[in-house]
DNA sequence: AAATATTTTTAGCCTTGACTAAAAATAAAA
DNA sequence: TTTTATTTTTAGTCAAGGCTAAAAATATTT
């Protein structure tokens, strides 16, 4: 029983199912999957049949889909590869954190013996990617970390930037311009009750961050 | 006129045409291309029509095919990427020279702005890949080098290993076991007229190399 | 409970890149 | 110069992964 290799398209769907189920536990619905993949619902249904045939998901018509053990392992491995390649692109090739996603989206599908483990060695076994997302280890175990949205901090509280909940290049570029890279220290000085915007100190600078920013930026309180 | 990106399959065919034409100048025949690609002649004909539609080749039914200017640029760029990734895999990830081809066959197709140039910078602008093959520069210019087959050396002549004409893992592994890596020094001690085998000194060791090895190993005479 | 709205699946079509078998063109031999 | 052999192309088929439009199932209102 030589488990045939999944195609890149299959891998991408598995990853999408994993990500949706992570935020919203329970079966993943066809429309949510299609939206995440940027395809039609009909295409998603097609793919779900293929993944079901390959035992990578448990799919019940009209009821949604969940990953099988094998599907979950594959999705986790894909996320591991994606994030390791992102570390490579930023740490070794010098790309900015908003430039690496599309590359990693391709690189995660490179197949072959030992590549991931050698890359991991070369990078020094990073535990988080350039966006602060955890990198599962070779056995699929996840790092756990307590982080909170900047929005929850009250005036006087300080934090270290640990991640983002919006990975769009525009948001990442905006953060970089504000000096809000991973590891940056900030302190909430004031919060406006009306719109939840916050005046913050970032290193030496002061700035006002909107509710939207507060919602999408993770910090560890110090 | 936004030149649509070629698919991976198209790129592989272009590279195959380039490689055949390199050894055997003139139009490349369908059967030769199919053999190089490991596909049927019918599939090659199909692809030649697609490549011709995209102006990447000049194809005349029954007469063979040659690369257009655009096709030649693409093939050269693909070879550049392939060889740079091979350098990465050997120099940075620590793979052996017989392990990297299949990875590079996939990595060469990764698309996106600046990746190749950043990789080239990171690797220190290597001019040859782990098999001694030249890496064209960003403008598609080729390095030139005088090398000769080991077979042509007479007893008493010494050489430095500069490349191979057979890239099969078995040959590459055999050479590594014999101490014949790139840069290794050797001296021909005797040659047997009957079968063209040669007794050689490799560093401290002595060994007998067959005609087949002599034919597939390139050296620079010193 | 019926009617309506939403979600999901099915049906039918398309492109890419394979394949085999048959036909046509070209090359080699008699 | 015919005949035969080889090479190449065409014709027809398939699977993957998309699409749109129509049908069916499920959920929500009235
Ligand atoms: Mn991907
Ligand atoms: Mn990331
Ligand atoms: Mn390739
Ligand atoms: Mn090589």
Which residues on B lie below 8 Å from A94 (Cβ)?
118, 121-122
Collapse the DSSP code of A15 into the 3-class scheme (helix H, G, I; strand E, B; otherwise coil) and give the result.
Answer: helix
Whether B31 CB is under 7 Å from strand C: no
Planar angle of CA B8, B10, B14, nearest 5 degrees: 115
Strands of A185-191's sheet, edge to edge? A148-149, A217-221, A158-164, A185-191, A198-202, A205-209
Which nt has its C1' nearest the CA of A32? Answer: C7
Q: Which residues of B fall below an 8 Å CB-CB distance to A?
A: 92-95, 102-103, 106-107, 109-115, 118-119, 121-122
Gap between the Cα atoms of A120 and A132, Å rounded: 16
Candidates B95, B112, B122; nearest CB to A103: B112
What pLDDT was estimated at residue B4? 80
Element (H, E) at A48: helix A41-53
Q: Which ligand is nearest to the CA of A107?
A: 1
Contact between B122 and A93 using a beta-carbon 8 Å cutoff: yes
Nearest-CA distance B186 → chain A (Å): 32
Cα of B11 to nearest chain A Cα, Å: 16
Say if residues A164 and A218 touch (Cβ distance below 8 Å): yes
pLDDT per residue over A51-91, tens digit each? Answer: 999 999 999 999 999 999 999 999 999 999 999 999 999 99
Q: Tell me where in chain B the CATH 2.30.30.90 domain(s) lie.
A: 148-221
Closest residue on chain A to B106 (Cα): A110
Interface of A with B (CB under 8 A): 92-95, 99, 102-103, 106-107, 109-112, 114-115, 118-119, 121-122
Low-confidence residues of chain A, pLDDT below 70?
A: 1-3
- What residue has token string 């076991």? B177
- What is the residue-wise DSSP string for chain B? ---PPPPHHHHHHHHHHHHHHHHS-SPBPHHHHHHHHTS-HHHHHHHHHHHHHTTSEEEETTTEEEE-HHHHHHHHHHHHHHHHHHHIIIIIT---TTSSHHHHHHHTT---TTHHHHHHHHHT--SB-TTS-B---TT-PPP----EEGGGPPTT-EEEEEEES---HHHHHHHHHTT--TT-EEEEEEE-TTT--EEEEETTEEEEE-HHHHHHEEEEE-
What tokens appear for A125 in the block? 């076994």
Return d(Cα A180, Cα A176) in angstroms, integer: 5
Q: CA A14, CA A75: separation in Å to the nearest integer?
A: 6
C-beta of residue B27 within 8 angstroms of C-beta of residue B65 = yes
CA of B98 to the centre of ligand 4 (A): 9
From CA B27, how far away is CA B63, in angstroms rounded?
7
> Whose CA is closest to B167, among B91, B218, B92, B221?
B218
Euclidean distance between CA atoms B181 and B164, whole angstroms: 10
Subunit contact B110:A115, Cβ cutoff 8 A: no
Contact at 8 Å (CB) between A95 and B118?
A: yes
Of A93, A107, A115, the CB nearest to B118: A93
Strand C nucleotides in reach of protein CB atoms, 7 A cut-off = 7-12, 16-22, 25-26
- What is the pTM (predicted TM-score) of this model? 0.95
Measure the CA dihedral B163/B165/B166/B170, to 10°: -30
pLDDT of residue A21: 98
Shortest alpha-carbon distance between residue B108 and chain A (Å): 11
Q: What is the pLDDT of residue B2?
A: 54
How distant is C1' of D26 from CA of B6, in Å? 44
* Best CA proximity match to B107, nearest among A92, A191, A149, A103: A103
Instruction: Give the three-class secondary structure for A19.
Output: helix
Cβ of B38 near strand C (distance < 7 A): yes
Residue ranges for chain B with pLDDT beneath 70: 1-3
**CATH tag for B8-67 (out of 1.10.10.10, 1.20.1640.10, 3.40.50.620, 3.40.190.10):** 1.10.10.10
Q: What per-residue confidence (pLDDT) applies to A147?
A: 96
Tell me yes or no: is domain B83-136 CATH 1.10.10.10. Answer: yes
Kindly report the backbone phi and psi dihedral angles of residue A96, in degrees, each rounded to the nearest multiple of 5, phi listed first. Answer: -80, 160
CA within 13 Å, CB half, B216: 16
For chain A, where do the domains classified as CATH 1.10.10.10 start and end?
Answer: 8-67, 83-136
DSSP classification of residue A107: H
Give the CA A34 to C1' C7 distance in Å. 12
Enter the CATH code of domain A148-221: 2.30.30.90
H/E segment holding residue A11: helix A8-23
For residue A2, what pLDDT is reported?
54
């Amino acid at each position: 029983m030589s488990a045939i290799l999944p195609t890149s398209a299959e891998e991408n769907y598995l990853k999408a199912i994993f990500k949706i189920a992570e935020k919203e536990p329970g079966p993943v619905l066809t429309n949510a999957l299609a939206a995440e993949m940027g395809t039609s619902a009909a295409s998603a249904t097609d793919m779900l049949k293929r993944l079901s045939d390959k035992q990578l998901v448990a799919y019940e018509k009209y009821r949604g889909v969940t990953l099988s053990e094998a599907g979950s392992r594959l999705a986790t491995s894909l996320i591991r590869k994606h994030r390791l390649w992102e570390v490579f692109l930023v740490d070794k090739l010098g790309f900015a954190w908003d430039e690496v996603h599309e590359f990693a989206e391709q690189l995660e599908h490179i197949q072959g013996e030992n590549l991931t483990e050698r890359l991991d060695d070369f990078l020094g076994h990073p535990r988080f990617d350039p966006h602060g997302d955890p990198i599962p280890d070779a056995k699929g175990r996840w790092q756990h970390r307590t982080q909170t949205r900047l929005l929850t901090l009250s005036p006087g509280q300080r934090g270290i930037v640990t991640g983002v909940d919006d990975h769009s290049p525009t948001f990442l570029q905006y953060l970089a311009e504000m000096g809000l890279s991973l590891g940056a220290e900030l302190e909430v000085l004031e919060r406006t009750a009306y719109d939840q915007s916050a005046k913050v100190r970032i290193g030496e600078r002061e700035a006002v961050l909107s509710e939207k920013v507060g919602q999408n930026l993770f910090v560890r309180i110090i």
